Structure 1
Amino acid sequence: MTTTSTPASEPLTRQVSHHVSQSVFDGSRLRVVLLVEVYDGAQQQFLETYEQLRSHVESVPGHLGEQLCQSIENPSQWLITSEWESAPPFLNWVSSEEHVRMVKPLHSCVRDTRSLRFHVVRETNNASAGADTAREGLQASPRIGDGVIRHALTFTVKPGSEAAVARLLAEYASPEPRVDDTTRLCRTSLFLHGNRVVRAIEVRGDLLAALRHVAEQPEVRAVEEAVNPYLEQDRDLADPESARVFYTRAALPAVHHVTAGEEDPAAQRHALSYPARPGCGMRLAQLLSERDEAAADDPRSPVLCSTIFQRDDVVVRLVDVRGGIDVAGDPAVALGLPDPGQVAELTTLLDGAADGTAGPPAVGDALARALRGARMDLVTDRRAADA
C-alpha cells in the first residue's frame, strides 16, 4: 500500500460534503446508549426499579435486547445499552405516554441521564456466520454531516391566547450564543400553527449543554414564567419533576435532514405543519423525507434545505426556500410532494379535521388550500452573527 504525506507547510483541512443527508429511515439497526448517574446510596433502589421495568421494555415491538452495566470506578455511574431493529420503533416508544409513565419511578434515584443514539455501521460476528448475516441491518455507508445538531420543542397554548404568547416569545432578549469552548447556539426559529408553538434550534457541539444553557438564562426564564398561564399543559419550572415531564413531552426530534449543496443568504425560512391521522405520523415523515431527498438532487428545486421533525402524530417540516415558498408556482413542490402518486398517499395520512381542510388535498385548488393550511406563522427567526 502506498501512502502520501502532507507537507508541513500545508494546513490540514476537513473534507465536508455540501450535500448533507441525515435520516432515521435507512432501516439500519439502532444502538441506544443511556448514561445514568444515580444518587449516592441509591444503587440498590435503582437496580430494583430497573428490574421491575425490564419486562415492559422487552415486550416493546422492535426491541432486540439490552444490557445494564455499572462502572468499576464510580458505583454511581451506570450504563444501559439497548439494540433495536431500526430507529422508528424506538422513537415511537420513547415519545409515548407509556414511556413517560414507565420511567417516572426512576426519577427518585437518578440524578442525571444522557441518551445517545447510533446506527450500527460495522460489527464483528462469529466466524461461522455468513457474509450476508454479518451485513444484515447495518448502515451501508457513513453519512457526512455539517456539524450542526437540529432539535425542536413543541407545546400548545390555550385557544385565544395565541397573540399574547407570540408577543412574549418574539420580544425576549436572545441568550449569549457561546455556551462553552465547544458548543454554541447557531439559530433559533419559532413558529405558531393555530395554538401549537414550535421552537426549532440549531447547535454546534453538545445539544444537551446548549439546552441547559438557554434554560438557565434569566431573560429566558422570565419569558417562560410569563408564558406558563397560557399553557394547556401545566408546568412548574421550579419543580424538577414537573419541568422534566413537560420537556419530555415537548421534545420534537429531527428525523430527517437534507441540504441541497448550495447556500443562498437570501433564502427564506418557512415551517409547514402536517397533522397526521392517528398512528400515521412516522410514515408521513418518511414520505416527506423521500421527496426531500429527490428534491435535493434536482437543481431546479427551490428548496435548499429541509428538516423534518416528528413526534407521534405531529409532523413539522422546516424548509429554507430560494425566493420564497410561493416562487415555484406549484403548491405541491412547496409541500414536498410533486409526485402525483405520493400526493394521493398523502390523502390517506393527513388528518383533514386537524388541518382545517374539508376533504383530502387531492389536486388543484384543494392542494393550494392544503399549502395555506400547512403554513405556520413565523414568530421569530434569529441567527448568531457568526453562525
Structure 2
Amino acid sequence: MTILSEEPGTAGTAAGAQDTECARLRVVLLLDIQKGAQERFLDAYELLRSQVASVPGHVSDQLCQSIEDPSQWLITSEWESSEPFLAWVDSPEHREMVKPMHSCVNDTRSLRFDILRETSVAGHTGHRAPRPERAGDGRVRHAITFTVRPGSEEKVAKLLADYASPSARVDSATRLCRTTLFMHGNRVVRAVEVSGNLVAALRHVAQQPEVRAVEEAINPYLEEERDLTDPEAARAFFTRAGLPAVHEAVAEADRAGKVRRYALHYPVLGGSGAAAARVLARSDELAAADPTGSLVRSTIFQRDDVVVRVIDLAAAADEDLALTTGTADRDLAAELGRLLELPDAVRDLGDDRGRGQLLAHLEMTLVTDRHAQDS
C-alpha cells in the first residue's frame, strides 16, 4: 500500500523501463510491529485503507499477518501502473496519511514488482516481457539532493570533502561501494553505489557517527531547515531529497583508457523532468552500443524537475562534447533542447561550439569521490 520510510526506486535499462511502462504494479510492504502495538496498528490501517482507496490508480490491497511470527505483517497492494503509485508515494499527502503508523512499527521494507503473468480460475493472462537483468556490475545506484543558502557553497563543499568515511560493510550481504558528491551552484548531489540491499545501506550510513557529524555541520547552511534528531522530520527530509536512478546504460564493449566520472545537471522546463530523462536515456543507449565510443556507464537520476546525469567516460569530458552532453543524435538533441531552460547562447546544440557552452552550463563540480576498499 505504502512506505513508511524512504524506499528508493531502482532503474533498469531505458528500454526495459519503456517496455513495462503500463504494467500493473504490485507493492509489498513488510512490517515489523512493535510489541503491544497491534491494536493501534490495526486502527491506523483502518484509517489509512479508506484514504488510499480514493487515490487515483489504486486497485486493491490486503493486510496479512505471519502465521509463524505474529509481529510480522505485510500489506500488499495493486496499482494500475507504477506512475500513479510513485506520484502518490512521493507526495506530502502520503507522508500525512502514514504518520499514525510510525509509532506502531519497528521496521519496514517496501518491494515493488511489475505484474507480468497471472493465473486464476478464469485462466492465464499476461504476456509482458520481463525487464532485462541489471546491466554491468549489479550495483544499485541512488542519490539525494538538496540546496544550500547562496554564498555558503564554499563552506559546504569543504565540509563535504573533508568528512571521515563511514564503515562500508553493512552486513554479510550488503556493502557501500562508492560515494560521489557534486555541486552545481547551491545544489548538492550525493550519489551512492551499493552492493546488496540499498535501503539497508542508506539506513546504515545515516546512523554512522562520521556522517551524522557532517550532516549536523551543514545544517546551518541549508535552504530547507531540518531536524535530524526528530525521526519524523528526518524521514520527511530524506524522502523529499531522494533522487532515484531512473535509467542506466552500460557500454557493450570494453573501453580503453582511464575512466573518469562527471555529472551534469539539466535545467528543465517546468513539468519536463521525466521527458528530459527519457530523451537522455535514449541518447545514452545509442552511445553505449557504439563500439568506438568512450561511454562506460551512464546513470540518470530524476525526481520531478531535477535531472542529473552521472557518466563514466574513458576520456576527458571535452574530447567528445556530443557524447558528454547527450546531444550526439541530432533529433534527440533537438528534442532535448525544447525541454531545457537555457540561455540563448547555448540554444544551438548541433555543433561543438554550442555543446561546449552547454557543458559549461551543465557540468557539476566534483567535491569528493570515495571508493570502499576492495570495491
Tell me the alpha carbon deviations over residues 128-161 of structure 1, each in whole angstroms, 9 at most, x when there is no partner: 45xxx421xx334542443211111111111111
TM-fit CA distance, 1:42: 2.5
Instruction: Report the CA distance shift for 1:99/1:372 in structure 2 as closer, same or farther (over 3 A).
Output: farther
| Structure 1: gaps spanning 5 or more residues | 1-19
| Structure 2: gaps spanning 5 or more residues | 1-11
Pick one of 178, 182, 187 that aligns with 2:173.
182
Q: Secondary structure at the match of 2:317?
A: coil
Equivalent residue number for residue 318 of structure 1:
310
Kept in 1, the 8 Å contact 2:116–2:126? The answer is no
Equivalent residue number for residue 58 of structure 2:
63
Q: Secondary structure at the match of 1:326?
A: helix
Equivalent residue number for residue 361 of structure 1:
347
Equivalent residue number for residue 379 of structure 1:
367
TM-fit CA distance, 1:263: 5.2
Alignment of 1:273-292 (within 5 A): 273-292=265-284
Matched to 2:34, the amino acid is: Y
How many residues matched? 357
Instruction: Report the CA distance shift for 1:125/1:284 in structure 2 as closer, same or farther (over 3 A).
Output: farther
In structure 1, C-alpha distance between the alignment counterparts of 2:161 and 2:315, rounded to whole Å: 24
Kept in 1, the 8 Å contact 2:262–2:317? The answer is yes
Equivalent residue number for residue 244 of structure 1:
235
Equivalent residue number for residue 74 of structure 1:
69
| 1:341 partnered with 2:327 | no
In structure 1, C-alpha distance between the alignment counterparts of 2:102 and 2:334, rounded to whole Å: 45
TM-fit CA distance, 1:222: 1.2
Deviation beyond 6 Å, 4+ runs, structure 1:
none
Kept in 2, the 8 Å contact 1:121–1:141? The answer is no
Tell me the alpha carbon deviations over residues 318-369 of structure 1, each in whole angstroms, 9 at most, x when there is no partner: 10011121111xx3322223222222222332244xxxx2487343444433
Equivalent residue number for residue 209 of structure 2:
218
Equivalent residue number for residue 203 of structure 1:
194
Q: Secondary structure at the match of 1:40?
A: coil
Pick one of 216, 221, 224 that aligns with 1:233.
224
Kept in 2, the 8 Å contact 1:62–1:86? The answer is yes
Equivalent residue number for residue 9 of structure 2:
none
Matched to 2:374, the amino acid is: D
Kept in 2, the 8 Å contact 1:96–1:312? The answer is no
Tell me the alpha carbon deviations over residues 217-262 of structure 1, each in whole angstroms, 9 at most, x when there is no partner: 2222111111111111222222211211111111111111121132
Kept in 2, the 8 Å contact 1:335–1:371? The answer is yes
Alignment of 1:45-124 (within 5 A): 45-124=40-119
TM-fit CA distance, 1:270: 0.5
Kept in 2, the 8 Å contact 1:25–1:87? The answer is no
Instruction: Report the CA distance shift for 1:144/1:221 in structure 2 as closer, same or farther (over 3 A).
Output: closer
Kept in 2, the 8 Å contact 1:259–1:305? The answer is yes
In structure 2, C-alpha distance between the alignment counterparts of 1:313 and 1:233, rounded to whole Å: 18
Q: Secondary structure at the match of 2:18?
A: coil
Q: Which moved more, 1:85-94 or 1:224-233?
A: 85-94
TM-fit CA distance, 1:282: 1.7
Pick one of 126, 140, 162 that aligns with 1:171.
162
Matched to 2:333, the amino acid is: V
**RMSD over aligned Cα atoms:** 2.4
In structure 2, C-alpha distance between the alignment counterparts of 1:60 and 1:335, rounded to whole Å: 38
In structure 2, C-alpha distance between the alignment counterparts of 1:44 and 1:325, rounded to whole Å: 58
Tell me the alpha carbon deviations over residues 39-87 of structure 1, each in whole angstroms, 9 at most, x when there is no partner: 2232232233233333443344443332222222333322122233433
Instruction: Report the CA distance shift for 1:54/1:348 in structure 2 as closer, same or farther (over 3 A).
Output: farther
In structure 2, C-alpha distance between the alignment counterparts of 1:29 and 1:362, rounded to whole Å: 40
For normalisation by structure 2, the TM-score amounts to: 0.87
Q: Secondary structure at the match of 2:227?
A: coil
Identical aligned pairs, as a percentage? 57
Q: Secondary structure at the match of 2:225?
A: coil
Instruction: Report the CA distance shift for 1:235/1:358 in structure 2 as closer, same or farther (over 3 A).
Output: same
In structure 1, C-alpha distance between the alignment counterparts of 2:92 and 2:82, rounded to whole Å: 18
In structure 2, C-alpha distance between the alignment counterparts of 1:302 and 1:230, rounded to whole Å: 38
Alignment of 1:34-49 (within 5 A): 34-49=29-44
Equivalent residue number for residue 308 of structure 1:
300
In structure 2, C-alpha distance between the alignment counterparts of 1:45 and 1:273, rounded to whole Å: 44
Q: Secondary structure at the match of 2:169?
A: coil
Q: Which moved more, 1:210-219 or 1:58-67?
A: 58-67
In structure 2, C-alpha distance between the alignment counterparts of 1:369 and 1:47, rounded to whole Å: 58
Q: Secondary structure at the match of 1:72?
A: coil
Equivalent residue number for residue 350 of structure 1:
340
Q: Which moved more, 1:315-324 or 1:21-30?
A: 21-30
Kept in 2, the 8 Å contact 1:95–1:311? The answer is no
For normalisation by structure 1, the TM-score amounts to: 0.84
